[in-house]
Amino acid sequence: MRTNAEDRQRKRIEASQQNPELNVGDPGDKRKSKRSLAERTTVPSPEESAEGVRRMQNDPKKTSQEKDSADILATVSGWMEAIANLEEAPELKEKKASLNIGSMQSSLSPKKKESKKSDNLINFIVEHEGFSSTAYDDFKQTSIGYGTKATSKNQTITEVEAKKLLERDLDTARKAVLKMKDKAGYDWNENKVDALTSFTYNAGEGNLKKLTKNGTRSNEEIAAMLPEYKKAGGKVLDGLIKRRAAELKLFNEGYT
**Catalytic annotation, residues:** 129
Percent composition of the chain: helix, strand, coil (DSSP 3-state, to 5): 70, 5, 25
Cα dihedral 192, 231, 241, 247 in deg (nearest 10): -10
Q: How far is CA 186 from the centre of its chain?
A: 29
Distance in angstroms (rounded) separating the CA atoms of residues 130 and 145: 8
Distance in angstroms (rounded) separating the CA atoms of residues 73 and 82: 14
**Alpha-carbon dihedral sign for residues 238, 244, 249, 250:** positive
129 burial (CB, 10 Å; 0-12 / 13-18 / 19+) is: buried
